[in-house]
A and B are shown apart, each in its own frame.
Chain A
């Protein structure tokens, strides 16, 4: 890892200029983009890397022996090395490219789950999971006759671990949880939970879709067995993500998708599989987007995860302070010091869609709804929340526009 520049040496105003989307307006006003939890904007370097591939060395990987095919293959595999280094994996062969977090979860729930989870077995999840880390396990549990237990969260949006020992009793095969809630922003003590789960013989799957972009992860420090993330939530293109898995599990897992590239030898009587991780990369992969994601990782590393975390914490603290002063605003989740750059709130009984529509007319893009976390919202007792989330291109001036917009929403609906 390169030495990180101290945060105050970084000019986030200059960083914003690297993102061409902010040159246009929304409803005639400057775009204030506060929906990075859904997907982040892309710096010009990433967009150019994508175009550069198509313009100069577009070729399929792992097949051709001609120059551009070899260049494409090399650059694609370099990204795998980069991801392995960023995550602290032991080897690039522990990194499988997928379409994103959702596919990574489905890969494990299918390939590992169908082989290792049987009738009466237990899967442990939490009540704050995104549907992508909930539904694949429900499908597996139903198919295999397994049961699911949920770690609850408390009124502050923190996991309640007082009953964890009891939840881990019996034939628990896997515990899967989010590292950082996409609604509450809560950062969960994954390493501590993983230690307990491992002591009971369960494997641990970590959804790092939010945590990796916001503060980086170290798979060896977390000691997780599987970890998933999406490139598009960290300045990269859509349609790319990865699964980290300890090599021993990748070796013992059957393939997920069958097809080209994932095989060693195909005969009409049957086939044998390629080495890991290619055993799990059937068909032509998302080459251009993966290579451009490598550029996104370079960009992020240049800023540094520490600086990013510090920047979003500052914006989060400011937002929670300013919104908290508006009567009728309820903010969900823990204090700013315990969360990543996400603030979900409600405003009196005004529906989140109405708040978001007023904000949209001020040029502010926020998410309104259940954010793919219906059980979490059921527990909060609200059908929908409005969510503002931050990344490297956001500035304190964005928060001012947001807060002004929320005040305006109150005026519109309470006049």
Chain B
């Protein structure tokens, strides 16, 4: 995969202009996590109305892959029911990014999903990258 393919225009766009960036006042759900390997940090806030994601914001710091994945993920869950959000898996996130990732960068890509799952389930779930092993 060439460098231009890896840093596709959409990834750079989401990195430089992240969607749903920021925090919510009095969120119904809020979750934070970090990736100790590279120091990435993320917080995701959700406003839930009638069982659906009415608003979502994320903030934190991280590499282009982790931020772009978070940005794309927040777009994908807007208006979805919590049950639908629970169904989103690692392959969905990788499809959004549209690139191949090695094991280290995979954790960058899945940090937002992991954090989101912790938020919607209210408990720590298995690391999304390890679902297949379960």
The distance from the CB of B109 to the nearest CB of chain A, in whole angstroms, is: 11
Contact B3 A354 (CB under 8 A): no
Chain B residues contacting A351 (CB-CB under 8 Å) are: 38, 40, 61-64
Chain A residues contacting B64 (CB-CB under 8 Å) are: 351, 353-354, 413
Contact A361-B3, Cβ < 8 Å, known A351-B62, A353-B108, A413-B64: yes
Chain A residues contacting B63 (CB-CB under 8 Å) are: 351-354
Q: Is B37 an interface residue (CB 8 A)?
A: yes
Contact A357 B40 (CB under 8 A): no
Q: Is A201 an interface residue (CB 8 A)?
A: no
Contact B3 A353 (CB under 8 A): no
Which residues of B from 79 to 125 have beta carbons under 8 Å from A?
A: 104-105, 108
Q: Is A239 an interface residue (CB 8 A)?
A: no
Tally of contact residues, A, Cβ under 8 A: 18
The distance from the CB of B66 to the nearest CB of chain A, in whole angstroms, is: 8
Q: Is A369 an interface residue (CB 8 A)?
A: yes
What separation, in Å, do the CA atoms of A354 and B37 have in the docked complex? Answer: 14
Q: Is A377 an interface residue (CB 8 A)?
A: yes
What separation, in Å, do the CA atoms of A406 and B38 have in the docked complex? Answer: 19
Contact A370-B39, Cβ < 8 Å, known A354-B64, A412-B12: yes
Q: Is A384 an interface residue (CB 8 A)?
A: yes
Chain A residues contacting B127 (CB-CB under 8 Å) are: none
Q: Is B65 an interface residue (CB 8 A)?
A: yes
Q: Is B21 an interface residue (CB 8 A)?
A: no
Chain B residues contacting A357 (CB-CB under 8 Å) are: 3, 6-7, 105
Contact A353-B105, Cβ < 8 Å, known A361-B3, A384-B39, A413-B12: yes
Least CB separation from B65: chain A residue: A353
Q: Is A368 an interface residue (CB 8 A)?
A: yes
What separation, in Å, do the CA atoms of A352 and B66 have in the docked complex? Answer: 12
Majority DSSP secondary structure for residues of A touching B: helix
Contact B39 A377 (CB under 8 A): yes
What separation, in Å, do the CA atoms of A358 and B105 have in the docked complex? Answer: 13
Contact B12 A383 (CB under 8 A): no
Instruction: Choose among A357, A374, A377, A413 the residue with the greatest number of B CB atoms under 10 Å from its CB.
Output: A357
Which residues of A from 364 to 392 have beta carbons under 8 Å from B?
A: 368-370, 374, 377, 382-384
Contact A383 B40 (CB under 8 A): yes
What separation, in Å, do the CA atoms of A260 and B40 have in the docked complex? Answer: 45
What separation, in Å, do the CA atoms of A21 and B58 have in the docked complex? Answer: 43
Chain B residues contacting A415 (CB-CB under 8 Å) are: 12
Contact B65 A361 (CB under 8 A): no
Contact B6 A352 (CB under 8 A): no
Chain A residues contacting B61 (CB-CB under 8 Å) are: 351, 383
Chain B residues contacting A377 (CB-CB under 8 Å) are: 39
The distance from the CB of A19 to the nearest CB of chain B, in whole angstroms, is: 24
Chain A residues contacting B104 (CB-CB under 8 Å) are: 353
Chain B residues contacting A368 (CB-CB under 8 Å) are: 38
Chain A residues contacting B15 (CB-CB under 8 Å) are: 413
Least CB separation from A355: chain B residue: B63
What separation, in Å, do the CA atoms of A129 and B108 have in the docked complex? Answer: 26
Partner of A369, one of B3, B7, B38: B38
Chain B residues contacting A413 (CB-CB under 8 Å) are: 12, 15-16, 64
Partner of A361, one of B6, B41, B108: B6
Some 10 contacts from A to B, beta carbons below 8 A apart, are: A351-B40, A352-B38, A352-B63, A353-B105, A354-B63, A361-B2, A370-B39, A383-B39, A412-B3, A413-B15
Task: Please list the residues of chain A having a beta carbon within 8 angstroms of any beta carbon in chain B.
Answer: 351-354, 357-358, 361, 368-370, 374, 377, 382-384, 412-413, 415
A-B pairs with lowest CB-CB distance, top 10 = A383-B39, A351-B63, A353-B63, A361-B3, A384-B39, A354-B64, A354-B63, A384-B38, A369-B38, A353-B38
Q: Apart from A351-B64, A353-B38, A383-B38, what 16 extra A-B contacts exist at CB < 8 Å?
A: A351-B38, A351-B62, A351-B63, A353-B64, A353-B104, A354-B65, A358-B7, A369-B39, A370-B39, A382-B39, A383-B40, A412-B12, A413-B15, A413-B16, A413-B64, A415-B12
